[in-house]
Amino acid sequence: MHSDPAEIKKSVRSYITVFVMLMVFTVITVAASRFHFAVPMAITVALIIATLKGSMVAGVFMHLLHEKRAIYGALLLTLVFFIVLLFIPLLTILDRVRY
Amino acid sequence: MNIPYTVEARPDTGLHNGKLGIWLFLASEVMLFGALFSTYILLRVGALEWPHGELSVPLGMINTIILIGSSVTMVMAWASLKLNDWGKHRLYLSGTFVLAAIFLVNKYFEYSEHLGNGEGPWHDTFFAIYFTLTGLHGLHIVGGMVVMAYFLGPGAKMWKTNPDQFANRIEITGLYWHFVDLVWIFLFPVLYLL
């Protein structure tokens, strides 16, 4: 993350650019939902757009594009456990197979 | 006793302690919301039917725009401090606070309409998870507003005594606030559109 005034001014321009892109992606998300895709397709499209938007917020607003290794390490560990957490419901499928 | 490394970076992490602390807190928040998203998946996969179109998409979209806007004003509040512009910092931080309040007012109207129609958390599984997820998110908005109110009020005087530490505090507040925005970015399509 920068502290030099010239770099901060440059960052301000990227904040505005990301703001406009987030607005555009929000409109695209709502527009895509009007197409009434099949449920798996609709979920995929919506989550891809949400992930893109989330990456922009994390990367630019939260300065993750220029962070220290300690933060990347903590987040990587979090990501691993987050994915495990999201897949825990899949274990219920094993229950159905068993009975 | 003074807390060390509130301004200068720790040699081992390269970060001031507040920043590492907020990121570790946000990691725990990821797991909290992750558990609820996981619950949502479990309920939705297990349901024979899942309601669609129960929520107002225009209202949800307006709230998305409001929160994204508040993220921009928040980061601009921090950037203004780095540019030594106290007036703009106050303007942007106040703007963030007002946008957060508008978000909650919209949510109040949304909740009132559903509760008025008997569609509380007890109504069905969809409304149970909807109120749980958005209620927890709303509490995070309130928490952020309390912190912002402190920095607009009594906490602001630190700018005169220790401007670098004050800027770090605003940066930390901003990281929390962007996370709250990020959660909503996923909540909106999951609850309102799918």
B155-164: average pLDDT: 94
Percent of chain B's residues with pLDDT above 70:
100
Q: Pick the more confident residue, A82 or A96.
A: A82
Interface test with A, best of B17, B33, B42, B82 (most A CBs within 10 A): B82
Residue pLDDT, tens place only, B15-55: 889 999 999 999 999 999 999 988 898 888 888 888 888 89
| Ordered domains of chain B (ranges, CATH) | 17-193 (1.20.120.80)
Q: How far is CA B187 from the centre of its chain?
A: 12
The CA-based angle B37-B178-B189, given to 5 degrees, is 40
- Give the other-Cβ count within 10 Å of A15's Cβ: 17
Question: pTM of the predicted model, to two decimals?
Answer: 0.93
Q: Which residue of B has its CA nearest to A53?
A: B185
Interface test with B, best of A53, A60, A72, A95 (most B CBs within 10 A): A53
Give the pLDDT of residue B51. 87
Q: Which two tokens stand for residue A29?
A: 């998300």
B55-75: average pLDDT: 95
Is pLDDT at A6 greater than 90 in this prediction? Answer: no
Distant-in-sequence contacts of B123-130, Cβ < 8 A, 24+ apart: B124/B51, B125/B43, B125/B47, B126/B50, B126/B51, B126/B54, B127/B54, B129/B36, B129/B39, B129/B40, B129/B43, B130/B54, B130/B55, B130/B191
C-alpha to C-alpha distance for B106 and B178, rounded to whole angstroms: 19
Judged by CB atoms closer than 8 Å, whether chains meet at B193 and A57 is answered as no
Is pLDDT at A2 greater than 80 in this prediction? Answer: no
B104-117: average pLDDT: 95
Question: Please, are residues B64 and B185 in contact by the beta-carbon 8 Å criterion?
Answer: yes
Nearest to residue A59, comparing CAs of A7, A98, A91, A22?
A22
Give the pLDDT of residue A99. 62
A73 at the B interface (CB within 8 A)?
no
Judged by CB atoms closer than 8 Å, whether chains meet at B57 and A30 is answered as yes
Q: Which residue of B has its CA nearest to A29?
A: B189
